[in-house]
Amino acid sequence: MAPQSNNTNTAFVSKTQHYLKVKKPLLERQRRARMNKCLDTLKTLVAEFQGDDAILRMDKAEMLEAALVFMRKQVVKQQAPVSPLPMDSFKNGYMNAVSEISRVMACTPAMSVDVGKTVMTHLGVEFQRMLQADQVQTSVPTSTPRPLSPASSGYHSDNEDSQSAASPKPAEETMWRPW
């Protein structure tokens, strides 16, 4: 009879050996698959936001570099100071429109002087009203409200500035004119 081989050694595999032979490669494949899936998602997102498909043909390292460049550009765009007051650009546009209206009215031979004067006066009054509303809006957050006395009803006539409110300024002083 031939000697029997010792099958007990081969049948028993330690947990460490099992991990090294089976589990570790399986876990590594799963990890790589997850990374590849995330890279593909990132690639499609960047291509979508950039608007070109050049990133889709890059290898993984180039794609990551392109994604970082894109993200840095987005951060810089967000940090760039936006026009602090959109009202300023509106005012500039309003003034340009008033100037154009004035020019057109001056060049129109059939235009009545009274009509031109009325239109320009109206535009000037509206511009002044807009400026005052803007000043009030910007000064409100910085000013602190004065405490009202118990006898005060909270109306404007109760304030100390009631004398200035009672005597309005003449219209000629506050009127804006483009000429």
Tell me: the pLDDT tens digits for 143-178? 444 544 444 444 444 444 444 444 444 445 566 666
Report yes or no: 46 and 73 within 8 Å, Cβ to Cβ: no
What share of the chain in percent tops pLDDT 90? 8
pLDDT of residue 86: 66
Task: Name the DSSP letter for residue 55.
Answer: G
Phi, psi (5° rounding) for residue 148? Answer: -85, 145
| Distance of alpha carbon 160 from alpha carbon 173, whole angstroms | 24
**What is the tens place of the pLDDT at every residue in 124-135?**
898 888 888 878
CA dist., res. 130 & res. 91, Å (int): 9
Given the candidates 3.40.50, 1.20.120, 2.40.50, 4.10.280, the CATH classification of the domain at 15-79 is 4.10.280
C-alpha 176, offset from chain centre: 34
Q: How far apart are CA 64 and CA 70, in angstroms?
A: 10
Burial 99-123 (b: 16+ CB within 10 A, else e): eeebeebeeeeeeeeeebeeebeeb
Domain boundaries, the chain: 15-79, 87-134
Q: pTM for this structure?
A: 0.37
* Mean pLDDT (whole number) for 9-19: 74
